[in-house]
Amino acid sequence: MRLLPLGIKGLPTGKSLLKRLGRSVLNWLVPPSCISCGEDIASQGGILCGACFAGLRFVHAPFCDACALPITYDDVAERGYLCLECEFHPPLWHRGRAAFLYEGQARRLIMGLKYGDRTEHAAILARFMAQAGQDILKPDALLVPVPVHRWRLWQRGYNQAALMAKILSRNTGVACCLDGLYRRSRTAALAGLSRQGRRKQVAGTIDIQPRHGDTLRGKSVILVDDILTTGATAEACAKALLENGCVSVDILVGARVTLS
């Protein structure tokens, strides 16, 4: 029998030992399963099974600094870290980061979160968003989710962007203002509209909550949303924030939709 001296760094303390014991009892009662497909992952660890993890398409460098769209190194040599669209029509916000491309497994996670009551998906998305947004998640920034209309909130029961912002805030220590923005009116579905059409549809429908005016003033805001498509909604949010005294707006999303 090996005798282990007490008080050495790295050895389990009473508390961590209890925690570990608790976890193994819990694993025995409810074996850990993949958060997406439910497959037993007791032997693999993590929160996604191997197949679901392999189905995630991460946004890798090089990507557009403003909208997170993947670009090539030839593009970078030509015009720096900006896609064509952002070079010719710079968005109102500054930097954009996305964890995934909106396809395969990331699309399934987001669809489940938005339309299938799978609120637990917010945690896994937020975990990877924290990685993707490392360089913009400064301690003095303020996370603000893209708002949903109160009708949608009533239907769905939650705002998926607010869930993500809350978890991001908890994991990174960056403060959040969950209802800093609100939708004045319901926006008709944007699918199928051009970028200009979407902008027109959303313009002026989002504003800051007057009671949070002081909280937002002078802040560098990181707008949080599940996906970034043409950026029409993010533009409307950025406009409201910048007109009300925020010094800058960056965006951080779960997935970037590539329209091709």
- Within 162-191, the residues that bind Zn ion by CB under 5 A are none
Residue keyed to tokens 């996305």: 98
Shortest distance, position 83 Cβ to Zn ion, whole Å? 3
Binding pattern for the stretch 12-51 against Zn ion, x by CB under 5 A and - elsewhere:
----------------------x-xx-x---------x--
CA 35/CA 40 separation, integer angstroms = 10
Q: Supply the minimum distance, in Å, between the C-beta of residue 48 and Zn ion.
A: 6
Task: Kindly identify the residues of this chain, within the stretch 138-167, that bind Zn ion according to CB under 5 A.
Answer: none
Residue span binding Zn ion (CB under 5 A) among the ranges 75-83, 104-112, 158-166, 185-193: 75-83
Q: Do 236 and 203 contact (CB within 8 A), yes or no?
A: yes
- Comparing CB distances to Zn ion, the nearer of 85 and 179 is 85
User: What's the gap between Cα 108 and its chain centre?
Assistant: 15
Q: 117: helix, coil or strand?
A: coil
Cβ nearer to Zn ion, comparing 69 with 136: 69
Mention every residue, 6+ apart, whose C-beta is less than 8 A from residue 257.
102, 227, 228, 229
Q: Please tell me the distance from the alpha carbon of residue 61 to that of residue 69, in angstroms, as a whole number.
A: 10
In the complex with Zn ion, which residue's Cβ is closer, 88 or 154? 88
Pairing of strands 220-228, 142-145: parallel
Say which residue the tokens 């197949």 belong to: 51
Taking the complex as a whole, how short is the minimal distance between the CB of residue 173 and Zn ion, in angstroms?
Answer: 29
Q: Which is nearer to Zn ion, 98 or 176 (CB)?
A: 98
E strand or H helix that includes residue 139: none
The site map against Zn ion for 51-70 (x = CB under 5 A) is -x-----------x-xx-x-
Residues 83-112 that bind Zn ion (CB under 5 A): 83, 86
Number of amino acids touching Zn ion (CB under 5 A): 12
Residues 6+ apart with CB under 8 A from 218: 245, 246, 247
Residue 82 vs 208, nearer CB to Zn ion: 82
Rounded to a whole number of angstroms, the minimum distance from the CB of residue 22 to Zn ion is: 25
| Of 14-22, 80-88, 114-122, 228-236: span binding Zn ion (CB under 5 A) | 80-88
CA angle (227, 164, 210) in 5-degree steps:
90
Shortest approach of Zn ion to residue 191 CB, angstroms?
20
Strands 220-228 and 248-256 turn out to be parallel
- From the number of C-beta atoms within 10 Å of its C-beta (0-12, 13-18, 19+), residue 92 rates as middle
Interface with Zn ion (CB under 5 A): 34, 36-37, 39, 49, 52, 64, 66-67, 69, 83, 86
